[in-house]
């Protein structure tokens, strides 16, 4: 005899895990639609900003920049009368930091240009156009004085001359060299001594006043850097040379 047992059928209820595939599919669809709309440069009024990675953000989403503007190596730009040339000049600091010379907020001598050295650093600029003609430095501690004298004699009329010292500017200076620099407008050159700091702006045949210079004597009782005085900075405006 065949006996059939009839009982209650057990029904299994669907739990939350059965909804996960549906949610995942909807999420993918929503994300795809979002990217398509973004690629077409549309702004979602109901979701104006998407806090995702930068590559997901459209052109209409403001970007936050974390970069900082670097200060100019030529100090604060000068506002000069039309036709004048702005300049910035700094002596060296001890025998560690070299000098720099700038014209029109552009460094023409300095650590960036890699064209400065211990002694006397000179830049010659065309007084009419502002064009840099020559940049050179002369070692005044154990170098020769003749190249400096020859260079000073070669400067053409109508040139602006900017000078900055570094370390020792005076050990090899002689009367001839001092006289030639004095003719460019400097008065401090006559008393420039061992490890003095000095900056000067003058010219040959120009109207630049001799007051455009600063000079600090080497004095161990007053020096900022032990055997060297403090660094000097000077800036201003230079009139264009007119014949």
Residue of higher predicted confidence among 31 and 202: 202
∠158-196-127 over CA atoms, to 5°? 10
Q: Which two tokens stand for residue 104?
A: 């029109």
- Quick one: average pLDDT of 53-67? 45
- The reply to whether 124 falls in a domain is yes
- Under the banding of pLDDT at 50, 70 and 90, the label for residue 148 is very high
Q: How many domains does the chain have?
A: 2
pLDDT at position 133 over 80: yes
| pTM recorded for the entire structure | 0.70
The residue among 57, 87, 48 whose CA lies nearest residue 208 is 87
**Residues 132, 229: one domain?**
yes
Query: What is d(CA 96, CA 79) in angstroms, rounded to the nearest whole number?
Result: 31
Categorize the per-residue pLDDT at 36 as very low, low, confident or very high, splitting at 50, 70 and 90: low
Q: What is the mean pLDDT of residues 89-103?
A: 95
Least confident of 81-85, 140-144, 207-211: 207-211
233 in a structural domain: yes
User: Is the pLDDT assigned to residue 228 strictly greater than 50?
Assistant: yes
Residues 52 and 163 in one domain: no
Residue 61 lies in a domain: no
With cut-offs at 50, 70 and 90, classify the pLDDT of residue 78: confident
Q: Give the dihedral sign, CA 179/185/191/194.
A: negative
Mean pLDDT of the chain: 81
Residue with token string 């900022």 = 224
- Alpha helix ranges (H) inside 87-187: 146-154, 175-182
Tell me the average pLDDT across 158-184: 96
171, with CB counted inside 10 A (0-12, 13-18, 19+), is: middle
Number of neighbours of residue 186 by Cβ within 10 angstroms: 22
Question: Mean pLDDT over residues 113-142, rounded?
Answer: 96
Can you give the residue range of the structural domain that contains 128? 85-238
The predicted pLDDT at position 22 comes to 76
Tokens of 47: 């979701």
């Amino acid at each position: 005899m065949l006996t059939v047992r009839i009982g209650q059928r057990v029904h299994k209820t669907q739990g939350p895990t059965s909804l996960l595939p549906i949610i995942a599919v909807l999420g993918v669809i929503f994300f795809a639609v979002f990217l398509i709309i973004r690629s077409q440069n549309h702004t979602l009024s109901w979701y104006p900003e998407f806090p995702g990675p930068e590559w997901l953000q459209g052109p209409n989403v403001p970007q936050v920049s974390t970069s900082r503007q670097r200060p100019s190596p030529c100090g604060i730009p000068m506002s000069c009368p039309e036709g004048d040339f702005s300049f910035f000049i700094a002596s060296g600091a001890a025998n560690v930091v070299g000098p720099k010379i700038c014209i029109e907020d552009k460094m023409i001598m300095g650590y960036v240009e890699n064209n400065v050295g211990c002694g006397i650093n000179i830049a010659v600029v065309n007084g009419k156009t502002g064009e840099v003609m020559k940049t050179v430095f002369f070692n005044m501690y154990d170098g020769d004085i003749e190249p400096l004298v020859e260079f000073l004699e070669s400067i053409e009329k109508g040139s602006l001359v900017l000078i900055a010292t570094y370390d020792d500017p005076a050990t090899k200076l002689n009367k001839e060299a001092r006289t030639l620099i004095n003719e460019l407008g400097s008065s401090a050159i006559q008393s420039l001594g061992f490890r003095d700091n000095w900056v000067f702006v003058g010219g040959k045949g120009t109207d630049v006043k001799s007051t455009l210079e600063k000079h600090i004597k080497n004095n161990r009782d007053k020096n900022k850097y032990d055997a060297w005085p403090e660094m000097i900075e000077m800036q201003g405006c230079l009139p264009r040379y007119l014949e």
